[in-house]
Structure 1
């Protein structure tokens, strides 16, 4: 397929008390809307099945593990996979993954239109901190509960289109986009749960936070000549606000669809993957224009050195 009708399926708040089954019902409702709109692919947010649990400090690992999925699909999510197969719609969504070896990842998967998983990504750029931080307005403990992803920024041929995934904070790092761009990516799917308030800088404000999110996605799409879909979990979860701003972006970096609420909301766009080719063959023809002899610092160091 070279033309996909894509749905960005934003989810509103998920409370700590909400069951996975109730969330899956909401996801299926958006999927049914997507089918009515002729969608071929629906993208859901990061950690789509639960509240954003890294905001709570937990010392009991057994309690932590209740937020993780040990297999995918599982009993709670199988109905979503079945509904997607019935509609012939590919899906991508995020969840907390607990592997058989006991490893914990912030994960996203991608299916084809037959409901078969064809790609998996584990979040690499984990934000936040490990121990309780008294200086923050609220906690952000992804570094406590997850390991950095170990699968790299791989791409997947999904029915003739080269697709890749990223999660939340990954969007802010140009390396995320370029590694996939160097594989010819044509569609990047990204889910996020981003607080409306900066826990370390209350003066930033929602408007600036939405701007920085959109800037990261539109720049990444433009600089790698790829479509991008960035989808939020939004609204107030147990008193903690998450921002919306879900968008679909074309390979020239322009927003072609945008949500207007902080609730469950579907927006769609018809995305012709052949539109990626102009950018890939002109200004961002990497084979002709990249000068890797000058890029060594990118992989030889982490922090700033002079």
Structure 2
């Protein structure tokens, strides 16, 4: 963290995902090339963009969707990174070995090399989000990757609700924290709870930007997936927030978009000087945070 980075341009690729994995990879690569043509130096795709969100059911045949890393999809993203000279963050269903699969974000540097990978740490198990069936919790910890464009931190979807994850990634020196995401409404709940759910999702991530003094980007998919009378309606709303929590760019709820925005790490310095949350942390008093709950037992 000794050197200040130069300003960099970010692209967030919000897309629909079809039932054809090859089509999804092709269209994702097209969007990435578009982002590079528009000046992006680092771009991020939604969570598990290669397929529709398969975790709505528990089906052992869907493990066949997983790939090793390196593998066909990672090679396709690496090729785009090499062609464009752009850093790419892609979310993949990783086959580590027989019976061990991860939800993994891979960071490709501008030369197409794999700079590193992050395996999703927090794994949900909720109606239509049966991820514990598919994903082994991550074992690589919270990381930051030095790339040509910026110091990049990656977390994935459900991780976005946990301040501990954002804090530890920030403490590793991240300038921007990417959250590849697949989150949507249960159609039966949308009318009553939809606005509140989407607002909470955005608010908690903007709070991570503020409390850590860094840029935060959330990249969601759009469209309805699953049964017509059920399934999930992904709510889009991808956005980039600055270190003060201000939204620099936001996508619509149901449109495919490539958001482009500029990030100046100098704003991190300015913000952290005036709101010195990292300076004033009482690291001597936080040991209890490693406990599940602070029961007062006799």
TM-score w.r.t. the length of structure 1 is: 0.87
Cα distance between partner residues in 2 of 1:151 and 1:101: 19
1:82 equivalent in alignment to 2:86: no
Which residue, 139, 164, 170 being the options, matches 1:150? Answer: 139
Match of 1:132 in 2: none
Which residue, 3, 7, 11 being the options, matches 1:7? Answer: 11
Deviation at 1:302, TM superposition (A): 1.2
Q: Per-residue CA shift, 1:164-194, capped at 9, x if unaligned? A: 1011111111101111122232110111111
The 8 Å contact of residues 9 and 42 in structure 1, kept in 2 or not, is answered as yes
Q: What secondary structure is seen at the aligned counterpart in 1 of 2:97?
A: coil
Cα distance between partner residues in 2 of 1:98 and 1:284: 41
Deviation at 1:31, TM superposition (A): 1.4
1:67 equivalent in alignment to 2:68: no
The 8 Å contact of residues 198 and 204 in structure 1, kept in 2 or not, is answered as no
The 8 Å contact of residues 91 and 112 in structure 1, kept in 2 or not, is answered as yes
Cα distance between partner residues in 2 of 1:170 and 1:79: 26
Deviation at 1:102, TM superposition (A): 3.9
Higher mean C-alpha displacement, 217-226 vs 27-36: 27-36
TM-score w.r.t. the length of structure 2 is: 0.90
Q: Per-residue CA shift, 1:78-125, capped at 9, x if unaligned? A: 333212211111110111111036421111011111111112111111
The 8 Å contact of residues 198 and 205 in structure 1, kept in 2 or not, is answered as no
Which residue, 247, 258, 263 being the options, matches 1:255? Answer: 247
Which residue, 166, 169, 176 being the options, matches 2:155? Answer: 166
Cα distance between partner residues in 2 of 1:230 and 1:150: 22
Cα distance between partner residues in 1 of 2:87 and 2:171: 24
Q: Number of aligned residue pairs: give it.
A: 288
Q: How does 1:184-199 map to 2 (within 5 A)?
A: 184-197=173-186
Match of 2:54 in 1: 53
Which residue, 279, 291, 296 being the options, matches 2:282? Answer: 291
1:83 to 1:227, Cα distance in 2 relative to 1, 3 A: same
Cα distance between partner residues in 2 of 1:101 and 1:238: 27
Superposition CA RMSD, Å:
2.0
Q: How does 1:136-147 map to 2 (within 5 A)?
A: 138-147=127-136
Cα distance between partner residues in 2 of 1:284 and 1:163: 21
Cα distance between partner residues in 2 of 1:229 and 1:97: 22
1:251 to 1:211, Cα distance in 2 relative to 1, 3 A: same
Match of 1:108 in 2: 105
Structure 2: gaps (5+ residues): none
Match of 1:135 in 2: none
Match of 1:133 in 2: none
Match of 1:264 in 2: 256
The 8 Å contact of residues 206 and 243 in structure 1, kept in 2 or not, is answered as no
1:77 to 1:220, Cα distance in 2 relative to 1, 3 A: same
